[in-house]
Structure 1
Amino acid sequence: MSAAQRVQIINQNKSVSIRGLSVVDDKIAWISSSQGYIANTLDGGNTWKWRQVKGFEKADFRDIEAFSAKEAIILSSGTPAMILKTTDGGNTWKVKYSQNDSTYFLDAMDFDKPNHGFVMGDPIKNKFLLLETKNGGNNWQSIDGPDAINSQAAFAASGTCLILKATPTVVTGGGAAEVISKNHSVWQHTSLPITHGQNSRGAFSISGDRKRLVVVGGDYINNKRRDSTVCYSINSGQIWLSANSFPSGYQSCVEYIEATTFLSTGTAGTNISMDGGKNWTQIDGQSFNVCRKAKRGKLVLLAGDSGKIGIFKK
């Protein structure tokens, strides 16, 4: 393990699984979890205020997008599939989208501007569900999503199988490990050198800057399997290369830190790459689901099962 980087645990003693994490700046961050819980911090992750969203005690909030200490959006993945918004720091929430059809399962959400974002869900009739908002999550419209082959899906593991750069970009698993992005009006599918072919395998997360991108994944059932868990691109996703050395196993989330540094995490531990995804070193052996860096700042947080929260130190 690296002596320079480590993960400082902030024990919350909560019996919830945290998958949603949004870091606004070096002080403000939000998390969303199972059993209808959300929490936020105003001091960089050292202390957290927890709330159970009234009426949603059984909801599994798989992703969250926060904009300030007051405003955030959460999505409930299963039936009913819902999107909720708060403007008062999480004290009250309003439903902005609801779908009782059991075929709807929401996986991830991302915004490129405070008023503009997307939510994606599992395929319905061989087409990925894609919702768009143009007014800060107050209204959502279904738009034409990419095609999906049989048994292909996205993973609601960390909310990072969808990112917005110039266009929406999706990574998938199951029947096919692909990166799918929109070029003008056409969805382009590119195969990834990531293990796939079973429902537990595939690409789970994507992150990067304009040219350098990294995708992580693996097999969450066989989470110690290391091969075919990471690939990277240095030309904006035109060509994808398998890593030279791999992380400690299955990784559900990757986050771009700076320059050529990426951090990834999963149930098999937390790993770092200093060379753009080519080689990886384990820095922590504990299980996490998600790692995110501040939109404005340097704070990096991690979160996982049993209410576990970590602060990345370097």
Structure 2
Amino acid sequence: MKTKYYLITSILFPLLFLSPIARSQSVVLLQQDKPTSIRGLSVVNDKTAWISGSKGYIAITNDGGKTWDWQQIKGYEKSEFRDIEAFSNKEAVVMSSGTPSLVLKTIDGGKTWQEKYRKTDTTYFFDAMDFADKRHGYILGDPIQNKFLLMETKDGGETWTNVSNPPTALPNEAAFAASGTCFRIYNRKLFIVSGGKNSRIITRMDSKPEYNYTNLPLIHSKASQGAFSLAIGKNKIIIVGGDYENDKRTDSVATIFTAHPPILNSPTQGPLGFQSCVEYIKDNIFLSTGTSGSNITMDGGRTWRQIDSASFNVCIKARHGKMILLAGNGGKIALLKL
């Protein structure tokens, strides 16, 4: 009996000690009530972050989110700035979905913006943008004639050209311009997740012409369904999505992907509803968010727990640092506290 008591104590005591840590995450609102829906978010370090949104709005913080310098870029008041990539507190590149499709760049902290690309062709619709480094980046767009639009820059966003061998799209398949994270670059490898009638993960080594295609077990069949975002951890990729028209639906909204060989595993407890963005934090920790709320996993995607019920569109961790921000409709910006 005494041995059994010590055994139970030895098991429970560490769990009691760790439980407050495991459940200490919280989402702290920093700002809201701005007339813009934020989809683009780039966190440079623990001080500097940029956001971009609808109606031509841009904002930057240089004090860790305490204060934000907002602007509505003159001449672009109708632009849908769905993604932004920043390299410092001075330099950033922003893209606009819709017509015209646009790319703007600043090198003076947003005081002035230069138009680097414009396309009035209504078949062009930009979904996401990412950079392998400060010079080399890509923009992903919806399919044109059964090929995803894929554009490339090799001079930091100054000029853009169409990639000659973009990935093939299936009928009624597209990417979502929901958080700028349906497309990621990691170690020179391109990753795309799609939705609609089909939902897939598409991968390509940056120096190779071949693409690999893998079907995903997420909800798909309608234009509102599929994979919306991916995040790349140490040994796995977490993919999230669902149905944004039915954001409380909880089945098939997340999956765990390992590439070599391609293996997909469903979580035992998934996020509570539709998620438009997922971000890798550290170790086995990932954060996801969407209109149904924000969720966290501490075990590499096997089990998820909702930590906040407020609606957000995007969550991003600092490229050089620990700060994690979330953003959404109504100019809402929040900080994740771990």
TM-score range (shorter-chain normalised) is over 0.9
User: What is residue 101 of structure 1 aligned with on the other side?
Assistant: 121
Equivalent pair of 2:139/2:152 in contact (CA under 8 Å): yes
Structure 2 counterparts to residues 189-204 of structure 1, below 5 A: 189-204=213-228
Report 1:34-45 matches (<5 A).
34-45=54-65
Residue aligning to 2:98: 78
Distance (whole Å) between structure 2 residues aligned to residue 150 and residue 104 of structure 1: 17
Residue 237 to residue 222, structure 1, CA distance change in 2 (3 Å):
farther
Give % identity.
53
Distance in 2 (CA, whole Å) between partners of 1:242 and 1:177 is 15
Q: Which amino acid aligns with 1:170?
A: I
User: Given the superposition, is the C-alpha separation of residues 236 and 56 from structure 1 closer, same or farther in structure 2, using an over 3 Å criterion?
Assistant: farther
Q: Distance in 1 between matches of 2:221 and 2:258?
A: 26
- Map 1:1-314 to 2 at 5 A: 3-143=23-163, 144-165=165-186, 166-183=188-205, 184-235=208-259, 238-314=262-338
Q: CA RMSD in A?
A: 1.3
Stretch deviating more after TM superposition (290-299 or 142-151) = 142-151
Matched letter for residue 111 of structure 1? F
Q: Is the 8 A contact 1:158 1:205 kept in 2?
A: yes
Q: Tell me which amino acid in the other structure corresponds to 2:83.
A: D
Distance in 1, Cα, partners of 2:274 & 2:59? 26
Shift of 1:209: 2.7
Taking the aligned partners of 1:279 and 1:208, their CA distance within structure 2 comes to: 17
Closer, same or farther: CA 223–124 of 1 in aligned 2, 3 Å: same
Distance 2:292 2:74 in 1: 34
Per-residue CA deviation, residues 86-114 of structure 1 (Å, 9 max, x unaligned), is 00111111111111000000000001101
Q: List alignment gaps of at least 5 residues for structure 2.
A: 1-19
1:251-288 superposed Cα distances (whole Å, 9 cap, x missing partner): 00000000000000000000000011111000000000
| Structure-1 separation of matches of 2:286 and 2:103 | 30
CA-CA distance at 1:11 after TM superposition: 2.1
**For residues 26-57 of structure 1, what are the alpha-carbon distances to aligned partners after superposition, in whole Å with 9 as ceiling and x for unaligned?**
00000000010000000111110001111000
CA contact (8 A) 2:233 2:284 kept: no
Q: Give, in whole Å, the separation in 2 of the partners of 1:309 and 1:236.
A: 37
Contact residue 248 and residue 269 of structure 1 kept, 8 A: yes
Amino acid at match of 1:157: A
> Could you report, residue by residue, the CA deviation over 1:210-252 in whole angstroms, capped at 9, with x for unpaired residues?
5211000000000000010000124567211111111110000
Compare 290-299 and 225-234 and name the one that shifted more. 225-234
Tell me the TM-score normalised to structure 1 length.
0.98
Deviations 1:8-35 (A, max 9, x none): 0012320210000000000000000001
Q: Match for 2:296: what amino acid?
A: I
> Which runs of no fewer than 5 residues in structure 1 stay unpaired?
none
Deviations along 1:53-72, whole A, 9 cap, x unmatched?
Answer: 11000111000000000000
Bigger mean CA deviation after superposition, 176-185 or 121-130: 176-185
Query: Paired residues, what number?
Result: 314
Distance 1:14 1:231 in 2: 34
Call closer, same or farther: CA 1:3–1:167 in 2, change over 3 Å: closer
Find runs of 4+ consecutive structure 1 residues off by over 3 angstroms.
234-237
Question: Distance between the aligned counterparts of 1:233 and 1:172, measured in 2?
Answer: 14
Normalising by structure 2, report the TM-score: 0.91
